[in-house]
Amino acid sequence: MSNSSVLPSDFEWGFATAAYQIEGAVAEDGRGKSIWDTFCHLEPTRTKGANGDVACDHYHRYEEDFDLVTKYGAKAYRFSVSWSRIIPLGGRHDPLNEAGIAFYNRLIDSLLKRGITPWVTLYHWDLPQGLHDRYRGWLDVDESQLDFERYARVCYERFGDRVKNWITLNEPWIQSIFGYSTGGNAPGRSSTNAQSEAGNSATEPWIVGKAQILSHARAVIAYKRDFVASQRGRIGISLNGDYYEPWDDSDSRDADAAERRMEFHIGWFANPIFLKKDYPGCMREQLGERLPAFSDAELALLGESDTDFYGMNYYTSQFARHRDGRAADTDFLGNVDELQQNKQGAQVGEESGLPWLRSCPDLFRKHLTRIHGRYGKPIYVTENGCPCPGEENMTRDEAVHDAFRIRYFRSHLDSICKSIGEDGAVVKGYFAWALLDNLEWSDGYGPRFGVTFTDYETLERTPKQSALLLGHMFAERA
């Protein structure tokens, strides 16, 4: 392999999970309810009848799961902490749950004794239900950021002697849009979704986004002020976002649409967090007063926060086509159409097991290079993966032969190498999504993203071929 495609010697790779998707044990050892506990039990169902009450039972089987991480050759593992397992009611004046803290201490120690580096996400969408009931959660910008800071401080205090890699929030775009615009995710607020009983899709997502941005900033400042000197760790955030190409590459309006879509998707959070400035101008132009302003004090808070790395969750890419006329008040795309083929009929990528997810490794390279050039921070790919075509209907013996996933991983790792070696991007790590087949939120137990097959009746785990080959793929590029 040429020098231009060699990964750096300190490159980290491993697997990723999230608490509500795998832990189960939702009512054990003092854990409080989260908004997903409530959402998964609504009638009629919003999650295809699925819930996380048991999930993969990782709460009782984590040793078995970490044996798999070791078997697969990974030296890093990304997981999230359940806020309501640490502070059952969620608030800064509410009592801690020592049994929940003890669980995560056991989990962290179990990883370390195996030589696996823990990467901890503080928030992966599972807001304590107590905060939603008390003041509507993220819709109260002032209260939510103070409660999140206290929760973060508890985690630093209890786990930071061993955890050196922190991610504040996972995909705030998803929480804001799917939770408060479309209503497809918890807490299910929407004025465009007939199943939702409350919400305002024109205003609430943008309020929630601001609350999360300021919560991130407070968590970073707290860590840098009071913990980093002794704990010597680093802290970042994981942002999702597709890469967009113009539907008609000869039409400047579509080129503008592609850029505008990425600004609405990524710049919404990345501009305030990494560039210390206001939201992208195209958002201000379209949304007007519905996009809440930052006060001078809030801008100063953003200016004081120093985020160490950009966590990138990437799955696919699309084409963007401009729309004529004024955007609807409930539009969150940037007044564009998202398409999977361009004007000439060329497909953006090979189909996976989900309609929205195509394999687009060449555009992944462009995405990495664009993000590093724009925001200037080291990138850790904190999620990347796919379900194979038809996998949700396969037997275990069929699913373990996951040739599509192997091709997806191999081609996307090659794109990382090219972005580093030929484009000059700084990419420092990679986490495959996911270690286990698990609860895929509102899609229930249908799509299988795992490198490990989970039998949801027996909870038996079976390695897929991709899990056993991923280490070899990295070794080839080292």
- Catalytic (active site) residue 383: yes
Measured CA to CA in angstroms, residue 16 lies from 185, 404, 452 at distances of: 20, 19, 12
Which candidate, 48, 57, 53, places its Cα nearest to that of 38?
53
Exactly one of 383, 391, 392, 440 is catalytic; which is it?
A: 383
Rounded-to-integer distance, Cα 352 and Cα 433, Å: 14
Q: Is 304 a catalytic residue?
A: no
End-to-end CA distance of the chain: 9
CA 119 vs CA 13, 77, 270: distances in Å: 11, 6, 21
From 23, 171, 298, 440, active-site residue: 171
Phi, psi for 432 (deg, rounded to 5) = -75, 135
Question: What's the DSSP call for residue 185?
Answer: S
Instruction: Assess contact for 317 and 360: CB atoms under 8 A.
Output: yes
Instruction: Retrieve residue 136's tokens.
Output: 């509507």
**How far apart (Å, rounded) are the C-alpha atoms in residues 287 and 294?**
15
DSSP conformational letter for 459: -
Give the separation between CA 295 and CA 405, rounded to whole angstroms: 46
Catalytic residues: 171, 383
